[in-house]
Structure 1
Amino acid sequence: MITPTKGISPDRCLLAVGAQILLQLEEPRTVSQAWARLKSWRLENKHFSPVSFEWFVLALDMLYGLGVVELHQDLLVARRVHAASAQR
């Protein structure tokens, strides 16, 4: 589910959908705006595998769990973390 499997294509796994969501968050957006932009981005880039709203929410949950997105005043915000500061 998180990574591609025999039953889940690479453009539909949660990591790929999460990355596609992050591409839509160059500025803070509502969940509805991010969903609409993701759908149109996938069509423009010829990703025809279906992604339901539930799958979109699962990808958002994964991104939130990884600490990559936050919700501020009803807007999704991508956290910008530099690789050097993330080292332990």
Structure 2
Amino acid sequence: MITPTKGIAPDRALLAVGAQIAMQLDRPLTVSQTWSRLREWRHENGHPAPLSFGWFVLALDVLHALGVVGLNNDLITRRTAHAAPAER
């Protein structure tokens, strides 16, 4: 489910869908805006497999659990990764 399996195609795995969502977040967006952008992007880039809103939400949950996205003032924002300071 999170990664591709025999029953889950690579373009439907939650990590792949999450990566597709993250690519849409060039600025903070509402959930509806993000959902709309993702559907357009998948159509334009030849991903014909249907994607339900529930699967989209699960992919957002994975991104949130990994610390990739956050929700601020009802807008989904992409978090930036900061490397831990090196210890001496």
- The 5-angstrom pairing of residues 18-29 of structure 1 reads 18-29=18-29
Unaligned residue ranges in structure 1 (runs of 5+): none
Shift of 1:87: 7.5
The separation in 2 between residues aligned to 1:80 and 1:66, in whole angstroms, is 12
Q: Which residue of 2 aligns with 1:72?
A: 72
Give identity over the alignment, percent. 64
The separation in 2 between residues aligned to 1:87 and 1:55, in whole angstroms, is 36
Distance 1:66 1:14, change over 3 A: same
Unaligned residue ranges in structure 2 (runs of 5+): none
Cα-Cα RMSD: 1.3
Shift of 1:86: 4.6
For the pair 1:42 / 2:42, whether they are aligned, the reply is yes
Q: Number of matched residues?
A: 86
The separation in 2 between residues aligned to 1:21 and 1:7, in whole angstroms, is 22
Q: Secondary structure at the match of 2:77?
A: strand
- Runs of 4+ off more than 6 Å: none
Structure number with higher helix proportion: 1
Q: Which residue of 2 aligns with 1:31?
A: 31
TM-score (norm 2): 0.93
